[in-house]
Amino acid sequence: MSGERIDSLDKYYKQLNFIDLVCTVLFWLNASVSILIFFLNGYQVVREVLTYVFIVTTVMFFIADNYLSIYLIPSVEGKRRVHLISKSLDVPLDYEITQKYYNNDIEPSITKLGAHIFENSLFAKEVTVRMCSIERRKILFYAAIWIVSLTIRTVDLEFIAIISQTLFASTLLTKWLKLEYLRIKNEQIYNCLYDLFLLRRDNDDARLSAKFLDCFVSYEAAKAYSGIKQSSKIFFEINDTYTEEWERIKEKLEIK
């Protein structure tokens, strides 16, 4: 048991993952139903039923998406942030337990906080790179259909409107842009912290502590602004590889 990874915050992220999955299913269900309604022009009864389904799922998506972005993500991220500070400064601000989540042996300090953010940003930048790749394919798929629809004069304007609404009026494009922003910020924070640990000489240097705090605030601000829930599935897929990478970085930069 002592060698296993333990994170008592996982229970909160499981709920977050479930609501995120519900939002994803409802979004694609809405998109599919709206297209089906268009193609079932000669089946009035079926169209009416699907229209009611579309209305219900649209309302459900609105509720679930806003619950996720306005309440659940900020709440869970707040718990994570409190625990991060607790682990960094050895102050029991909460009762949560982690093992093998933050991996460095620095004494409780602002420098330890910087090391935690450094490790987090390493994983975060890799997770968001992969998430961006997936989102880009979705955007390209819809963009290609939209462009083709515009260039073919025989395509009904109603169908073009459906695709346009899915691409521009939904959360699809906004989510992708915010994810790209988060990816860029994660990379910038990682590079900044790499340089700070590469050049550091004195753990008590007030200027160094100020830079670590600046990186911490930038990291938290980027997560708060984007409101993006980073993929747990991708995190666990890359966990072993980048845990080894983190160990190599610690040895190279003498983070101990």
90-99 pLDDT per residue, tens: 898 887 777 6
Considering the chain, what is the average pLDDT of its residues?
86
Q: Which of 20-24, 82-86, 153-157 has the lowest mean pLDDT?
A: 153-157
What are the DSSP calls for 238-251, one per residue? Answer: HHHHHHHHHHHHHH
Q: E strands along 55-160, which residues?
A: 98-99
Tokens of 172: 């699809």
Q: How far is CA 79 from CA 178, 200, 215, in A?
A: 22, 30, 19
Tokens of 153: 């004069």
Residue 69 predicted with pLDDT over 60: yes
Report the run of H or E that residue 6 belongs to, with start and end: strand 6-7
Question: Hey, where are the domains in the chain?
Answer: 7-101, 102-256
Residue range 225-255, pLDDT digits in tens: 988 888 889 998 999 999 999 999 999 998 8
Residue 132 predicted with pLDDT over 90: yes
pLDDT number for residue 161: 74
